[in-house]
Amino acid sequence: MPSRITEGAEPKHQQLRRILLDLITTRLAPGAAIPSERQLIAEYGVSRITVREALGQLVNEGHLERVRGKGTFVANRPMQSTLHLASFTEEMRAMGHVPTTVVLVREERVPPAATVAALHLGDGETALHLKRLRMADGAPVSVDDAWLAADVFPGLLEHDLSGSMYSIAAEVYGHPIDRARQTVAANPASDDIATLLGTKTGAPLLEFDRVSYSGPREVEHARSWYRSDRYRVQMEVTASSPARV
């Protein structure tokens, strides 16, 4: 590793942190092991306390993760998305990832009360239920649980739904989803969602609740749960408006 630790105004643990941060962001892939404490002490001539302080800061900042009995590794770098209306497939490809999907549920039935209200359905009216596990580069990122207006998308469940449902809506049915109302909350993972996402029950997730429109009509009500360690949302805010997306 290039660079040296010198005596000066900057504390040694901060110098070492900077060197290690450069290493893990430019030369090491997520999941790669970093040099051991013993190696770092020998390489830079610093104390064990200095090494542990530098590593502790990088762990707290999310750059490194410790695995008991194995060592310290480069953490997975979260995908960072700006708030915009796009399918998961389109978004992952735009960020350079390979998206894949496992269809968990496809059915037509009477939806829950929240969806009945969101889609303005009548008593006993059915909707299309589509639940999918979404992955990027083979790693679980989100679970999407969507309900769609059956009269707008007849026969939708017969299509290949392992890709972009939004593309099917636009290209096959002529009903592009062009706007949405969405809320985002931080919630703990339930048992079933944690199992699907490969995380622990109670782990922090980003939960999205979205009503999507095609023209003036509400056509989709969806809830999605994203692993907060693999997905982040970025937005720009100004003094004149809450957010520009």
pLDDT at 144: 93
pLDDT at 194: 93
Q: What is the four-CA torsion angle of 31, 32, 37, 38, rounded to 10 degrees? A: 150
Give the count of domains, the chain: 2
173: left (phi over 0), alpha (psi -120 to 50) or beta: alpha
- What's the pTM? 0.65
Look at residue 72 and tell me whether its pLDDT is greater than 70.
yes
Domain assignment of residue 218, given as a range = 79-234
Are residue 97 and residue 167 in the same domain, yes or no?
yes
Phi and psi (nearest 5°) for 185?
A: -135, 155
Are residue 83 and residue 65 in the same domain, yes or no?
no
pLDDT band at 235 (very low <50, low <70, confident <90, very high): low
Look at residue 52 and tell me whether its pLDDT is greater than 90.
yes
pLDDT at 81: 46
Are residue 106 and residue 131 in the same domain, yes or no?
yes
Query: Distance (Å, rounded) from C-alpha 156 to C-alpha 93?
Result: 23
CATH number at residue 32: 1.10.10.10
pLDDT band at 98 (very low <50, low <70, confident <90, very high): confident
Are residue 102 and residue 53 in the same domain, yes or no?
no
Average confidence score pLDDT of the chain: 85
